[in-house]
Structure 1
Amino acid sequence: MTEAPAPVRREGIPLGKIAGVPVVLAYSWFIIAAFTVMVYGPVLGRQNPALGVSAYVVAFAYAVLLLISVLVHELAHALTARIYGWPTQKIVLNLWGGHTQFESFTASPGRSVLVAMAGPAANFALAGGAWLVLTSVPMGSVAEILTNIFMWANFLIAVFNVLPGLPLDGGRLVESAVWKATGSQAKGTIAAGWGGRIIVVAIVFWFILRPLLAGDEPDFSLVMITVLVGGFLWMGASASIQQGTLRSRLPLVSAAALSTPAVGLPATASVQEALQYGAGQTAVVVYGPDRRPQAVVDPAAVAAVPAAVAHSTPITAVSFALAPGAYVPEWAKGQELITFLSQLAGRHYAVVDHNGIVTGLLSQDAVLAAITGKRQRPDGRPQGHNR
């Protein structure tokens, strides 16, 4: 009986494509929509008693207008990025607003700023358009309410997003400025991440601590919004700091620097030859007739072979197989090396020179230790914190 494939979990509802960019409405958006209706509906009802129950319908329309504003914001990012040949994978609209997911691309400080600022610029344009409509077109009460909401929503989205800290768009200004000044994008990302954390502290102080210090009780809904937004920003800022820290360690990720010395022997060699050539700390890599690395000799297995039969025991009997294609050039380093290793199975990779001769053995643990900054244990595993 053939097992049915596991269902693929969808992150949301596909809304089709706009200008060739797939748009997905995440299920989490309905949470913020419900929150908007529950919080803003009663407020709208008190301010406009004539609306009655329809105040909640207007509140839902407000949530939809916010969704449209965020969509335009993200489309501005995607279409500006297209100018520089940055492929956009998709736009996701979710609980926190939304994000544009790009495929791999090469950025520069100037281009990064332009792509980031395109989003707030689009919202400023929408706010300006709504203001023109309000001041020049007579409308009914509901239409005027929604247009006014649309104007202020876009204005606030634009202003909020230009604040100088990641994950906000304004954080790219900080990142690019530091990047341009130091030549290091990693330092720029870390600085912008700390800018994001400072923004969170300022928001919490202004909307929660300041009223408490003044003897007032903060509005509950405002506290909830502050906690939600602050939590989202703090997580994004922390992720940016972590990303920048890891990126700063990329120059340390080098196949030549991280590998242990190794020698290559043909699969026809014996354990005796492995003992001879693999003396001390030198590893032994087994290669096939095409001279491509195929396996690694296990020192523990070699030690278990009696000396009397070492010359007649093939090294393939005391070796564990490498994953197909698990060998890298000794000059490979940085993101190129990490990307290549991420596509390979296994935990060990042979290192070869320009002539294809084995010069070292690289372990996955050594690469992870270089990226994370954790020291390795004597057994080759990176040290962590015990819990």
Structure 2
Amino acid sequence: MTKGWVIGRVSGAPVILTPSWFLAAAVLTLLFAPTVRSFAPGLGVGIYLVSFVFVLLLFVSVFLHEVAHAVVAKSRGHEVTELAVTIWGGHTAYSGTSRRPLDGILISVVGPLTNLLLAVVCWFAFQAQPTMTVPALLLYAAAFSNAFVGVFNLLPGLPLDGGQILESAVWAVTGSRTRGTIVAGWVGRVMAVGVVAWALGWPLLNGYEVDLFTVAWAALIGAFLWSGAGAAITNGRTREAVAGLTVASLAYPAVAVPVATTVSDAVAAAQRAGAGHVVLTDALGHPVAYADPAAVAAVPPAQAPLTPVGAVAVGLPPTAQVDVHLAGQAMLDAVASATRDAPLLVVTDAGRVVGLLDVSHVVAALQAARGR
């Protein structure tokens, strides 16, 4: 979980105020203060108070943006894990992956649409003001900032919301989410370069002097976009590699024997089946334990026909099972859920025991896939 202070809950998830927010609030207050001073020079120190109020309104808008993401994510079957208010504004984290392109589109689009709706509301409220007062200035600034946040986030490149919409659209057309991620990631890199190019090229094309402050901000935003786009491309390629992982290829062959079977009979059954592992079942045929190979090997040959295999077995909870046909992300989700209770899982095919899956083997294969 992101480090910070929990200030509330939304959709069952904690809302976290991070230490970096205070830095962002201070910088933005100083940046907006000259605008307030030019409008109301007589406010004195109150200029900074008005500027800080604008910053609060801005972060409330960003927070509502994240709330929209969280509410729709939960309605689409995801578990929302946190909403964080950070130096970049905020983010919403939720577990699981979108099963359909429509899920990604809906979760992504509601955030920018929330800001655009707030921009419209603030604009009409500003228009209703009889005179240009400080509250009117705040409404005008809130309308402009929400419009900017909404439009900027709809730009079609990851890690922006518009990039996630593009990812889902390409996924829907091609049938490959990985292809959608990589396309949206590269578009995000183009956007990153474009932001810096605009900051440098626009004034030069129009005969103005380049503003170094604007260029610095553009470079910061461009670096953020480039980094996020690069991470998205890497994740997309990792997902493609992970898609090739299957339970069938990672599991060790195993044979099922009744719990009352002797060690010698269990070893013989494993040899006949060409399996290196033994799973013990109860009277109903449900897996309840597995024979520890080291303990089996330690039983003296003379004692093997007399020793129940249950004496050298390790118990398994009923949830420690995984289907042999699972692959890719579905396999990882199932393994992550089942291994809360056991480091080894019984692999079944239509209820029949066919193998054992060692979680450490899965982790090693996942690391190798990411390395490739």
Superposition TM-score, scaled by structure 1 size: 0.75
Q: Which of 8, 26, 29 lines up with 2:17 in the alignment?
A: 26
The residue that corresponds to 1:378 in the other structure is: none
Q: Deviations over 1:164-204 (max 9, x none)?
A: 11221111331122112211223212322333333234334
Q: Which of 293, 296, 301 lines up with 1:299 in the alignment?
A: 293
The residue that corresponds to 2:250 in the other structure is: 258
Superposed counterparts of 1:160-171, under 5 Å? 160-171=152-163
The AA in structure 1 aligned to 2:344 is: H
CA distance 1:337–1:108, change in 2 (3 Å)? closer
The AA in structure 1 aligned to 2:165 is: L
Q: Which of 278, 300, 325 lines up with 2:270 in the alignment?
A: 278
Pair 1:339-2:341 in alignment: no
State the Cα RMSD in Å. Answer: 4.0
Asked if 1 retains the 8 angstrom alpha-carbon contact of 2:68 and 2:114, the reply is yes
1:265 and 1:338 map into 2 onto residues whose CA distance is: 28
Pair 1:310-2:304 in alignment: yes
1:81 and 1:322 map into 2 onto residues whose CA distance is: 34
CA distance 1:179–1:55, change in 2 (3 Å)? same
Count of residue correspondences: 364
Q: Which shifted more, 106-115 or 156-165?
A: 106-115
Asked if 2 retains the 8 angstrom alpha-carbon contact of 1:96 and 1:232, the reply is no
The residue that corresponds to 2:354 in the other structure is: 359
Asked if 2 retains the 8 angstrom alpha-carbon contact of 1:130 and 1:147, the reply is yes
CA distance 1:63–1:222, change in 2 (3 Å)? farther
Superposed counterparts of 1:203-242, under 5 Å? 203-207=195-199, 219=212, 223=216, 226-227=219-220, 229-230=221-222, 232-242=224-234
Superposed counterparts of 1:139-178, under 5 Å? 139-178=131-170
Superposed counterparts of 1:184-195, under 5 Å? 184-195=176-187
The residue that corresponds to 1:62 in the other structure is: 54
Tell me the CA shift for residue 323 of structure 1.
4.4
1:301 and 1:78 map into 2 onto residues whose CA distance is: 50
Pair 1:374-2:366 in alignment: no
Q: Which of 347, 350, 354 lines up with 2:346 in the alignment?
A: 350
Tell me the CA shift for residue 246 of structure 1.
4.5
1:160 and 1:14 map into 2 onto residues whose CA distance is: 28
More helix by share: 2
Asked if 1 retains the 8 angstrom alpha-carbon contact of 2:2 and 2:84, the reply is no
Tell me the CA shift for residue 152 of structure 1.
1.9
The residue that corresponds to 2:324 in the other structure is: 330
* Unaligned segments of structure 2, at least 5 residues: 204-208
1:181 and 1:301 map into 2 onto residues whose CA distance is: 54
Tell me the CA shift for residue 33 of structure 1.
1.3
Tell me the CA shift for residue 23 of structure 1.
7.9
Q: Which shifted more, 173-182 or 323-332?
A: 323-332
The residue that corresponds to 2:188 in the other structure is: 196
| Identity percentage of aligned residues | 36
Q: Which shifted more, 344-353 or 195-204?
A: 195-204
Tell me the CA shift for residue 83 of structure 1.
7.9
SS across alignment from 2:302: helix
CA distance 1:60–1:21, change in 2 (3 Å)? farther
Tell me the CA shift for residue 61 of structure 1.
1.2
Q: Which of 67, 71, 88 lines up with 1:96 in the alignment?
A: 88
CA distance 1:285–1:166, change in 2 (3 Å)? same
